[in-house]
């Protein structure tokens, strides 16, 4: 196995110069950098990551903690975006198994024991007591869809309110006025903003917001199914439903079909996420696209900037959202207005 001394001898430079190339120091000419890089590749030399850590004061690893099940397609695509951003960064990814239900658990100690340079978190409750300890630490952190900020912490989200308002507008253009809303938890920013988008969208089109038409559940298929079952029991069922995740929408559609009704002929359904399942589901789901992979990539890019610049405090990063119209929405059929 080649050593750094072999690379230096072959390239005709000093060991110090090889080290500077490996660690991306700027005071090396492009010609020398190219020659050393080619020699490293030809000799199949693998720099010692631990040694690089000693030079840079880093472990070259970032941690990710996710409280949402990995089976959720949103998580899958988020991690894919994170992986893409890490590919050429020199950093590796470590999954941190959290134990937030353990009162003696310390997230900061967990991060330090794994020697990560920074952390990305998703599915976090902003009122969790463990977060205060993390925000008071100097560990660079990026949260996804959680309005949590600190000197060394920022968050990335999507245009939640605007996305739901687009969904309401689309349904009104199709002639719907009895529009229900299946919401996520209203103690988290994402749930609050999407609910606000529904209320403002309905008011903008001079439509009533009926309490009976708003159901709060979790973002799973089961959550969507439970909420949809309750809506179908109403004396005057809705003709359209906006769900705050694709998984909720899939569950709602399954319940509608099991009840003997059709989507979109009897009830139109809109999801939120635009995961890869939304296009292959039958019928293909009309949904709000929130650029999940881009969210993952930008979270990592911002995190690495924090890691490499101790004075950098991130702004809130907001990804655009847009409605993708497929096959689960249609013009209102007058016969579908009554149960």
Q: How far apart are CA 135 and CA 157, in angstroms?
A: 19
* CB-based contact 123:70 (threshold 8 Å): no
Residues 182 and 216 in one domain: yes
Residues 328 and 312 in one domain: no
Runs of H (alpha helix) within the chain = 4-11, 15-22, 30-43, 49-56, 73-86, 107-114, 129-136, 160-173, 189-204, 221-232, 246-258, 277-280, 292-308
Exposure string over 56-66, b if 16+ CB within 10 A, otherwise e = eebbbbbbbbb
* CB-based contact 11:35 (threshold 8 Å): yes
Q: How far apart are CA 257 and CA 266, in angstroms?
A: 10
**Tens digits of pLDDT across the chain (339 residues):** 678 888 889 999 987 788 788 777 788 899 999 999 899 888 888 765 444 444 455 788 999 988 888 888 999 999 999 999 998 888 999 998 877 667 777 788 888 878 899 999 998 877 777 778 888 888 999 999 988 888 899 999 999 999 999 999 999 999 999 999 999 999 888 999 999 999 999 999 999 999 999 999 999 999 999 999 999 999 999 999 999 999 999 999 999 999 999 999 999 999 999 999 999 999 999 999 999 999 999 999 999 999 999 899 888 999 999 999 999 999 998 765 545
Residues 140 and 199 in one domain: no
Counted domains in the chain: 3
Q: What is the pTM of this model?
A: 0.82
Structural domain containing residue 121: 61-158+292-319
Residues 134 and 69 in one domain: yes
Q: How far apart are CA 84 and CA 102, in angstroms?
A: 33
Residues 148 and 217 in one domain: no
């Amino acid at each position: 196995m080649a050593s750094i001394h072999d690379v230096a001898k072959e390239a005709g430079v000093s060991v110090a110069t090889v080290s500077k190339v490996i660690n991306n120091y700027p005071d090396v000419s492009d010609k020398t950098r190219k020659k050393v890089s080619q020699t490293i590749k030809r000799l199949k030399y693998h720099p010692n990551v631990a040694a690089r850590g000693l030079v840079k004061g880093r472990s070259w690893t970032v941690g990710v903690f996710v409280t949402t099940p990995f089976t959720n397609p949103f998580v899958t695509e988020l991690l894919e975006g994170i992986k893409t951003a890490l590919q050429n960064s020199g950093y590796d990814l470590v999954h941190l198994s959290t134990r937030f239900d353990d009162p003696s658990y310390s997230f900061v100690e967990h991060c330090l024991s794994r020697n990560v340079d920074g952390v990305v978190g998703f599915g976090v409750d902003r009122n969790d007591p463990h977060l205060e300890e993390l925000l008071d630490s100097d560990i660079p952190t990026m949260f996804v869809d959680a309005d949590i900020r600190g000197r060394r912490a920022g968050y990335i989200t999507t245009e939640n309110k605007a996305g739901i308002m687009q969904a309401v507008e689309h349904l009104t253009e199709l002639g719907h006025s009895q529009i229900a809303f299946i919401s996520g938890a209203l103690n988290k920013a994402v749930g609050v903003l999407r609910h606000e988008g529904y209320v403002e969208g309905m008011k903008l089109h001079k439509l009533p917001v009926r309490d009976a038409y708003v159901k709060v559940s979790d973002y799973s298929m089961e959550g969507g199914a439970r909420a949809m079952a309750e809506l179908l029991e109403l004396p005057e069922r809705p003709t359209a439903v906006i769900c705050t995740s694709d998984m909720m929408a899939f569950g709602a559609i399954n319940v509608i079909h099991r009840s003997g009704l059709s989507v979109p002929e009897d009830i139109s359904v809109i999801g939120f996420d635009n995961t890869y399942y939304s296009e292959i589901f039958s019928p293909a789901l009309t949904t709000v696209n929130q650029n999940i992979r881009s969210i993952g990539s930008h979270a990592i890019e911002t995190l690495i900037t924090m890691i490499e610049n101790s004075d950098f405090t991130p702004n809130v990063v907001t990804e655009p959202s847009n409605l993708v119209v497929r096959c689960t929405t249609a013009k209102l059929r007058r016969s579908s207005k009554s149960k």
